Copies of this chain bind each other. A is one copy, B any other.
Amino acid sequence: MRGDELGQRSETVRRANLAAIVRQLHTRGPQSRSTLVSRTGLTRSAIRGLIGELAAAGLVSERAPAPLGTPGRPSPMVRLNPERAKVLALEIAVDSLAAALVGIGGRVVAIDRVERQRGHTSVEEVAADLAELARRVVPVGHDASTLVAIGLAMVAVVRRDDGLVAMAPNLGWKDVPLGARLASALRTGIPIVVANEADLGALAEHRRGAAVDVDDVVYISGEVGVGGGIIVAGQALTGVAGYGGEIGHMPLNPTGLPCHCGSFGCWETEVGERALLRRAGHPVDGGGAEVDAVLAEASAGVPRAREALEDVGRWLGTGLAGLINIFNPELVVLGGLLGRIQPYVAATVAAEVDRRALPAPRKLVRIVPASLGVDAPLLGAAELAFEPLLADPAAWFGARGVVPELASA
């Protein structure tokens, strides 16, 4: 349902076709016209007209064809012009802030990340720091008209409609209208979208990482907290307000520890960073350095470290089994901390999943580490910021303003 109930007009077709071409180029990179013909199923003439319109708007350009050794006239390469449309991606991570300027097609023009003290910080302070970082990434005198949107990833429960940060435990924020605050700190009217870090990590892995071409994905981002980004039939699961995907707070252990969310025995309390460090006998607030120490110990054969990883692996497998039963995903992607420990726990996880998941969905799922590393949420923020442009390029460049008018004169 949803779109099915609305009527379509003939103009819709052109918009959809322009969007199909732009999305193809954005997700799968530069390609020849004839490739576009076969991928979209449109005719050569249709592609010609559409590309002409996109080229007139400056969004794409055609280059000399790459000779590929087959008979027939070579087809010119079509590529998006990353200079023409860019987004600013921002991230508030637990230990760092990051910013990147990304051109359409996914090219990272500039990227910067600075360390951040853990713990509570005021909204104003963070917004100012982010603005400072943004200015470093966006060159002075940069043509503001090519900046399409701003995307922000953060560890928080975020409402999709307006970017309200309902809860950011590690920052101590509650019900903060971050989008608006950031707009004033950056002194800009460009649209700002805010979203959960794990949701954006999932989006990035789906577009550019381990989950390309996979339409049913459970992405798990394990850091201090455990977040999830879930892709169902190729679409991000947001829920009714955008709060969806909080898999870290599945109740799993009735005799478990209290969780900062107010509940207890959440998955997060068994597989999060603190859980690993606690079990390994390291300071629970030690952060990434202590995690590295645990992994080093495990490699060296220290029993307590190995047992700690075993325990985490078992709980990880238990939770995964539930998610696999619920979502029947094709792929589970482990990001962040969970991606890093994956080599150590893969066997334990697989055994536990074997034991506890239903055979039918179990057989079809693969469990892999994430491939984009720490920048996944940042890249996801860029992807999200591009989304309106990808969904309707015509709306962005003023649709019927610059028709090619090829052979009228």
Query: Which residues on A are within 8 Å of B, measured CB to CB?
Result: 1-2, 4-10, 12-13, 16-17, 19-20, 23-24, 27, 39-42, 46, 157, 159, 166-167, 215-216, 228, 230, 232-235, 237-247, 249-255, 261-264, 318-319, 321-322, 325-330, 355-361, 364, 391
Q: Which residues of B contact A8 (CB under 8 A)?
A: 12-13, 16-17, 20
Please determine whether A326 and B238 come into contact, CB atoms closer than 8 angstroms. no
Q: Which residues of B contact A7 (CB under 8 A)?
A: 16-17, 20, 40-42, 46
This protein's copies in its complex: 2
- A159 to chain B minimum Cβ distance, whole angstroms, is 8
Q: Among B2, B242, B264, point to the contact of A215 (Cβ < 8 A).
A: B2
Q: Which residues of B contact A46 (CB under 8 A)?
A: 7
* Complex alpha-carbon distance, A112 and B330, angstroms: 39
A-B contact pairs, 11 of them (CB 8 A): A6-B20, A7-B46, A216-B239, A238-B328, A239-B329, A240-B364, A241-B364, A247-B326, A249-B321, A262-B355, A263-B356
* Complex alpha-carbon distance, A327 and B323, angstroms: 12
Please determine whether B261 and A358 come into contact, CB atoms closer than 8 angstroms. yes
Q: Which residues of B contact A364 (CB under 8 A)?
A: 240-241, 243
Please determine whether A328 and B243 come into contact, CB atoms closer than 8 angstroms. yes
Please determine whether A6 and B263 come into contact, CB atoms closer than 8 angstroms. no
Given A244-B327, A328-B244, do A166 and B360 touch, yes or no (CB 8 Å)? yes
Q: Which residues of B contact A250 (CB under 8 A)?
A: 250, 322, 325-326
* Complex alpha-carbon distance, A384 and B337, angstroms: 42
What is the chain B residue whose CB lies nearest that of A317? B251
Q: Which residues of B contact A16 (CB under 8 A)?
A: 4, 7-8
- A33 to chain B minimum Cβ distance, whole angstroms, is 13
Q: Among B159, B244, B328, B358, point to the contact of A240 (Cβ < 8 A).
A: B328
* Complex alpha-carbon distance, A374 and B238, angstroms: 31
Please determine whether A251 and B319 come into contact, CB atoms closer than 8 angstroms. yes
Q: Which residues of B contact A330 (CB under 8 A)?
A: 240
Please determine whether B232 and A232 come into contact, CB atoms closer than 8 angstroms. yes
Q: Which residues of B contact A242 (CB under 8 A)?
A: 328
Q: Among B241, B254, B263, point to the contact of A328 (Cβ < 8 A).
A: B241
Please determine whether A1 and B326 come into contact, CB atoms closer than 8 angstroms. no
Given A6-B20, A246-B325, A251-B319, do A360 and B263 touch, yes or no (CB 8 Å)? no
Given A9-B13, A328-B244, do A361 and B239 touch, yes or no (CB 8 Å)? yes
- A274 to chain B minimum Cβ distance, whole angstroms, is 19
Please determine whether A263 and B321 come into contact, CB atoms closer than 8 angstroms. yes
Q: Which residues of B contact A246 (CB under 8 A)?
A: 325-326, 328, 358, 361
What is the chain B residue whose CB lies nearest that of A250? B322
* Complex alpha-carbon distance, A258 and B272, angstroms: 27
Q: Which residues of B contact A251 (CB under 8 A)?
A: 252, 318-319, 321-322, 356
What is the chain B residue whose CB lies nearest that of A14? B8
Q: Which residues of B contact A391 (CB under 8 A)?
A: 4
* Complex alpha-carbon distance, A329 and B5, angstroms: 21
- A390 to chain B minimum Cβ distance, whole angstroms, is 8
Q: Which residues of B contact A239 (CB under 8 A)?
A: 216, 232, 327-329, 361
Q: Among B234, B247, B321, point to the contact of A325 (Cβ < 8 A).
A: B247
